[in-house]
Structure 1
Amino acid sequence: MLILIFVLLLWYGGLFFQSFFLHRYAAHQVFTMSKMMERITFVLTWIFQGPSYLSAYGYGIMHRMHHAYTDTEQDPHSPSHDPNLFAMMWKTKTIYQDINTQRIAVDARFTKNVPQWKGFDLFAGSRLSRLLWITAYIFFFAFFATAWWQWLLLPLTFLMAPIHGVIINWFGHIYGYVNFTMKNTSKNLFRFDFLMMGEGYHNNHHKHASNPNFGVKWYEIDVTYLIIRVLDTLGLIHLKPMKVRSKMIS
């Protein structure tokens, strides 16, 4: 039971910070936060993503490119131009690393105001950091696993962020329903997004990229947005007015 709780904590904790911090803050900047709060969120993202930690800088730029080039050959991840999900994710990883290490030139419109903490990212994204997390997870399983099948969940804990990416960037462009007809293949995966905390409303998001609420219909409950509203009410972050958000890159 403890192993299942641990895996679920990593799944939804890592997913929340990917959606809240990397996606809605770093890429789309639909809200602001203080520098101290930003640094705290960097660290929390590292804690919950563990060995699959993603840099806000690399993620933010790559996601902006995805919106600008959706389903074209310049899209960093598109089922329309990759033969299978493994090929797509390998290309995504390569582009992400090239951005982080500045091996490729990036248009200034994609880098504007994207948060970056170079020193922390250098450690958090290092092989040492990933190895330490993997070792810690193995020890946790060794102490608390009570059945052989629970060990089958261990690889999942190492690859949480890539798995989240595959669900949205591959399956979210192949399966599901659409609320908006657009010149791309984005779909809404679920009527109620219990699995991806609102990220599954991908068609809605491509239509209204500057909207912090990915749900459109009454039954499309965006859990991450609800948490954002609470944090905004508490004054920990500040949602931008719609007119300001609409000027951001989409």
Structure 2
Amino acid sequence: MIILIFFLAHWFLSLFSQTFFLHRYSSHKMFKMEPFWEKFFYLVLLISQGSSFLNPRAYAILHRMHHAYSDTEKDPHSPHFFKDVFGMMIATKNMYLNYLHYKIEPEPAFRGNYPEWPLVDRIGDSWFWRIGCGLFYIGFYVVYATHWWMFLLLPIHFLMGPLHGAIVNWCGHKYGYSNHDNDDHSKNSLPWDFLLMGELFQNNHHKKPNSPNFATRWFEFDPTYPVMKVLHWMRIIRIRKI
């Protein structure tokens, strides 16, 4: 039971950091927050993603490119140009590393207006941090696992951030239904969207990329949006008016 609680906590905390901080804030600026809270959620991102920490700048650049070139050859992670999800993950990783290490520069339209904290970025991208987090996951399982099959969950902990992105980009552009004609292959993937905290409403999101609520129809529910509303009410964030 402890292992399952730990796995689910890691899954949803990492996922929340990705959809709330990396996607809705860093990439789209759907809300504003004071410098203190930006740094607070930056640290939450570092800790929750752990060994699979994703740099907000590089993430934002790739995601803005994804919207601009959705499901075309210039899309950094369209599933329609790869034989399988692993090929897409490797190609995305290579492009991500190029932007992370400034080997290439993005087009001007994709630059700027994303959070940067060089110290935390260096820590999150260091092998010391990644290996240290991995050893923590292994140690936790050694102490608390009660069945051998639980150890099969360990690889997911190591690659939590990129795995969430791969599921969203692969499934969200291949499987499900469409509410809108966006001139791409974006789909809404109910009922699995709940497990991705709104991220699988890709068709809705591509239609209204700056809307903080990814659900548009009465039977759709974006779990992250109510959390944002509470944070807005608490004046931790200020949601932009669309």
TM-score (norm 1): 0.95
Asked whether the equivalents of residues 171 and 200 of structure 2 are also in contact (C-alpha less than 8 Å), the reply is: no
* 2:160 equivalent to 1:160: yes
Corresponding residue number in structure 2 for 1:189: 189
Specify the code of the residue in structure 1 equivalent to 2:25. Answer: Y
Asked whether the equivalents of residues 14 and 49 of structure 1 are also in contact (C-alpha less than 8 Å), the reply is: yes
Taking the aligned partners of 1:132 and 1:220, their CA distance within structure 2 comes to 39
Shift of 1:24: 0.2
Q: How many residues align?
A: 242
Asked whether the equivalents of residues 192 and 221 of structure 1 are also in contact (C-alpha less than 8 Å), the reply is: no
Specify the code of the residue in structure 1 equivalent to 2:219. Answer: Y
Taking the aligned partners of 2:196 and 2:170, their CA distance within structure 1 comes to 14
Corresponding residue number in structure 2 for 1:135: 135
Taking the aligned partners of 1:133 and 1:161, their CA distance within structure 2 comes to 13
Specify the code of the residue in structure 2 equivalent to 1:26. Answer: S
* 2:52 equivalent to 1:52: yes
The answer for unaligned runs of 5 or more in structure 2 is none
Corresponding residue number in structure 2 for 1:65: 65
Deviates more, 1:141-150 or 1:78-87: 78-87
Specify the code of the residue in structure 1 equivalent to 2:159. Answer: L
The answer for unaligned runs of 5 or more in structure 1 is 243-250
Asked whether the equivalents of residues 193 and 220 of structure 1 are also in contact (C-alpha less than 8 Å), the reply is: no
Shift of 1:182: 2.0
Asked whether the equivalents of residues 73 and 81 of structure 2 are also in contact (C-alpha less than 8 Å), the reply is: yes
Matched ranges for 1:27-176 at <5 A = 27-176=27-176
Shift of 1:89: 0.6
Shift of 1:191: 4.5
> Does the residue aligned with 1:32 lie in a helix, a strand or coil?
strand
Deviates more, 1:184-193 or 1:71-80: 184-193
Taking the aligned partners of 2:193 and 2:81, their CA distance within structure 1 comes to 27
Asked whether the equivalents of residues 25 and 31 of structure 2 are also in contact (C-alpha less than 8 Å), the reply is: yes
Matched ranges for 1:214-225 at <5 A = 214-225=214-225
Specify the code of the residue in structure 1 equivalent to 2:18. Answer: Q
Corresponding residue number in structure 2 for 1:234: 234
> Does the residue aligned with 1:80 lie in a helix, a strand or coil?
helix
Q: Quick one: percent identity of the two aligned structures?
A: 44
Shift of 1:120: 1.2
> Does the residue aligned with 2:172 lie in a helix, a strand or coil?
helix
Asked whether the equivalents of residues 16 and 224 of structure 1 are also in contact (C-alpha less than 8 Å), the reply is: yes
Shift of 1:159: 1.1
Taking the aligned partners of 2:160 and 2:218, their CA distance within structure 1 comes to 29
Asked whether the equivalents of residues 175 and 187 of structure 2 are also in contact (C-alpha less than 8 Å), the reply is: yes
Shift of 1:192: 6.9
Taking the aligned partners of 2:72 and 2:119, their CA distance within structure 1 comes to 34
Shift of 1:193: 2.6
Specify the code of the residue in structure 1 equivalent to 2:210. Answer: S
TM-score (norm 2): 0.98
In structure 2, the CA distance between the partners of 1:221 and 1:192, relative to structure 1 (3 Å rule), is farther
Taking the aligned partners of 2:192 and 2:85, their CA distance within structure 1 comes to 24
Asked whether the equivalents of residues 191 and 219 of structure 1 are also in contact (C-alpha less than 8 Å), the reply is: no
